[in-house]
Structure 1
Amino acid sequence: MASDGTRFIFNAGRTPAETFAVVGFTLKQSLSSLFRLDITVACNDPAIGFKQVLDEMATLTIWQGETLQRRVRGIVTFCEQGDTGKHQTLYTMTVHPEFWRSSQRQNCRSFQNYDIAYIFAKLLKEMDIRTHDTLFRRPHPEREFCVQFMETDYEFISRLAAEEGLFFFEEEYLKENAQKLTFADDSSVLRSLGSLPYNPNAASESSTYCINTFRRSAQIRPAQVTTQDYTFTAPGWPVQYNEYGRKLAYQRPEYEIFDYPGRFKDEQHGADFARYQVEGWRNNVDFASGTSNSPQLQPGRRFALTDHPREDLNDVWQVVSCMLTGSQPQALIGSSGQGTTLNCEFHVIPAIQTWRPQPLPKPLIDGPQIAIVTGPAGEEIYCDEHGRVTVKFAWDRYNKANEESSCWVRVSQAWAGTGFGNIAIPRVGQEVIVDFLNGDPDQP
């Protein structure tokens, strides 16, 4: 329950301050997902226009007395006018982070020889999201050819983040009046909330933030991941990587995920992808859940649990997901309900562990596609030492028709093998049919 003096304030769109009085809200957050704030407000104006709030910024603030405890910013994605009473009209709104806009843009495009930091920055800039951080502690090499194919920008970014072992969350900076979309690859970058005592009798100390309930859990998950791939430039390269998870004492090690193709062409990506996958599959092996009256518990934060009777639980934990529920019935004129309440349900894992998302499915191209062979101006034949050519796909709206329009694409020949073969190089400007290895858009 909330402490004495807790209050909620909500502002939205192009409406004057104090237009809305918060009746209640539910805020759902988890790592590597878009938060959702569903809020019900009361207003003296029975005719607030949707144009005033939809796709506009909104802010929910939580105060304890005169101290700001939490701020949540986002855009209004849904608004509903409810019943109108004698004095007030109810409105229900849904708020998502600005990053939600990426879920409304589906595209086909390619990136050549760029790392994920560049790709993310470019896409976010196009969505006018300029305040983001990339807190990386590990190398993330460039990708030779990286294709977004019939995916929303959000699906594309989320998939790449999962492949590279990244998680993301909205980081709040109360003093700086800022909120940033943050990508990270290690739990060491998470900020600490300090300590929170365990107190199952919250009513006796309602003015102090504490943990009311805390339940420890464990479950069986895959124990190892093996990835395998093939590259024609080094056919004898043993492109197989195996990675075991940690804490296998209470499960069978033969629970294995075999992933082919592994979607890597170098040792750095091969070893990293196997480790990121097993850590993603095992991100909920050892976890705890509970409730608290603290509004500050949120994904991307750590806290130290104290005063629990089971000593091994008095440790540092990181928040993976939470649901914050607030009620302020006195916002309704004439209401005789109870006072303000606030409750947080959360899931946490040990802070020493880095949470990673489980692998996400990659789009598959379900058949051959038409493309035009490209090259430098004035050239009839343009190929590399393997006879590969560059092409421009029909769906490519961004790259020019030149030698940089795609990665090098292998050309199928009528007869090939040691001591045998012929070769026919497609000419610049000719139409060709392009297939994809295993349907992978990154491997034409």
Structure 2
Amino acid sequence: MAGSHPVTGGEDDRGPLRAAFGGLTTRGRSFLAAGGAAAVCAYALGQPDLLRVGVLLAALPVLCVLVLHRTRSRVAAARRLTPARVAAGSEARVHLRVENVARIPSGLLLLQDRVPYVLGPRPRFVLDRIEPGGRREVTYRVRSDARGRYPLGPLQLRLADPFGMVELSRSFNAYDLMTVLPRIDALPPVRLGGDSTGHGEGTRRTIAVAGDDDIIPRDYRHGDDLRRVHWRSTAHRGSLMVRREEQPLRARCTVLLDTRRGGFMGAGPESPFERAVSGAASAVAHMMTQGYDVRLVTDTGTLLPGPDTEARDAGEVTGLIMDALAVIDHSPDNGMEKARAALRGVDSGLLIAFLGTVGSAQLAELGPMRQRATGAVAFVAAGQLDPAFEADRLHRLQQAGWTALAHYPGVPLARLWQQAALELAGSGRGPY
């Protein structure tokens, strides 16, 4: 659950009274005019009683202005977003809390929170008077089918007195950000590589394989097996040291996302590009649950997590990649050379690619990337160009060693994932 964020602040709450008098309604202005006319008539006719009536008529709206002007600066508000990160098509709740910190009751309050049109209509609420120190809370829902990062706020507040004489507005500065993540499809439990922990034959490695000289010992702890005592370190440090337990290194998986503008046609939640982004997010989430160390690389050379990333566990890495996929857009690049350069010298492990339309230049760059990976599967956006052309490019990608499948609109990724596993098993190349 997202925390509560205060949204107090905004325009100068101690602004001149002249601005406050600008909030007089038609009724308030009429009372002022009637009071002035009564005072003039009382002076002209010499009627002191009429003067008292005029003063009363004019004093009422003035008093309402003074009270509301003071109350406006004594109203605090806070917003809580639950949750702050949602998948496309899911709902989030926004909780608004308004508190009267003044010593006098507030008047009628009208709340309006600014939200982008893709999240729905602007919510509006009417709150009755709030007692001194009292608070009110209202809730509304937001939903988006399009991934992205959207601002919520600022909150606009309008106060009105019980007599309808004055309406004063106040706009807060603070706003919150709602992150809409790509749609994540559940993939079948079949594996494109390794066992359930990401350690298949040929990929299960331990620290001990590096040799005795590369082992980093640690201090002896009560209960440690004495057979694991590292005598060389013990003699060097002067205290009992033992070898660390053999710890298997997790298998690696690299998800390649093609963002070239020329590789995709159309726009909208069901466009080929959005299907590719959703597929990449689904693959990242699935491989993380399978125990893999997962990286995301794009055609622009962006690598997440990068060498300077401070994310420490799988949850942080998944959040980092998903946040990047939430706002990723088309790139002007026309090739895969930057992605190839980003993976140079990196153990890419199993390579899973989500590609747009590929030409001869991209095929020439994808071939060497396959050679550096323990296995390669490509889901290629189809249905954009001539079927014969797309079939030829798919065949050439398969000849380069990729397990390539056409991803047509309306075809679930789970079905293609199952098909890829079957093709790998049938060809004798899987699981990786």
Task: Please indicate the TM-score interval, normalised by the length of the shorter structure.
Answer: under 0.3
> TM-score normalized by structure 2?
0.18
Indicate the structure whose relative CO is greater, using CA pairs within 8 Å and at least 6 residues apart: 1
Higher strand share: 1
What TM-score do you get using the length of structure 1 for normalisation? Answer: 0.17
Question: Which structure shows the bigger proportion of residues in helix conformation?
Answer: 2
